[in-house]
Structure 1
């Protein structure tokens, strides 16, 4: 997934000169506008290839963010959204994945971090095949989770002593 995000960022930056393209940025600091924010929104079951690999349809979203005080901002955000969709159309970003299929280009008001800006969202999909669990390393700092279950008052408690631990 890291390779996919990097390839998309690189490809869109080349296609949209003068536009800052980022994946999952920290929006607390300063950002330059116009801005395109790319993120993986969803993974769904894809067409299984019968090779043992897992096929997934990755739905990606890219938000075009424009300063509403800029001259002709309403038109500019729409033009950039269309340019972004054209830049994604049928691309594979040089990776062994299915071609991009643009699904929608629409206004977006779902990111609280972007309130006060003009935002349009371009959504597209790629089919990707995942074959090796090592492609998804555990994040740095991963920890264990301990879950404790306490029965409700009055509930009968049952404890499995685990007499047979043979593997």
Structure 2
């Protein structure tokens, strides 16, 4: 664990020195949100036959993402790891949710949705790029360490697979 923390710290210091920029951070914090992903996802789900019946697929995606988000928030409180913004940049924030870094909720939630879309509904694998962009964006803004992002992706993938098993059950049950 110590080796991972040292690697994370070194990588964040490198990002701070060579890649971190206030304007880029501002833009990434605006577009790297679940709301932006929902603007793409909702019309897709409504207009595509891949997600029929919508009364099963839409709640499944929403509930699986909600459960993932709650689980990640529990883990954040449990591990209580300081974010790079605090440990590397020296910033302070009175918001208690901003103090916890591991695992990344953005990475987990984007991966759970990507996993459901690609492996559950047969959507193009390009939807997994949303999760990649979410993770990289969180690294560049120094909201997370690399291990936070990878941990979020792993949790999101596993929760997405559990959602797919639920999807298969509901399709069998309702058809």
TM-score, normalised to structure 1, is 0.35
The structure showing larger relative contact order (alpha-carbon pairs under 8 Å, at least 6 residues apart) is 2
Q: Which has the higher helix share?
A: 2
Q: Which has the larger radius of gyration?
A: 1
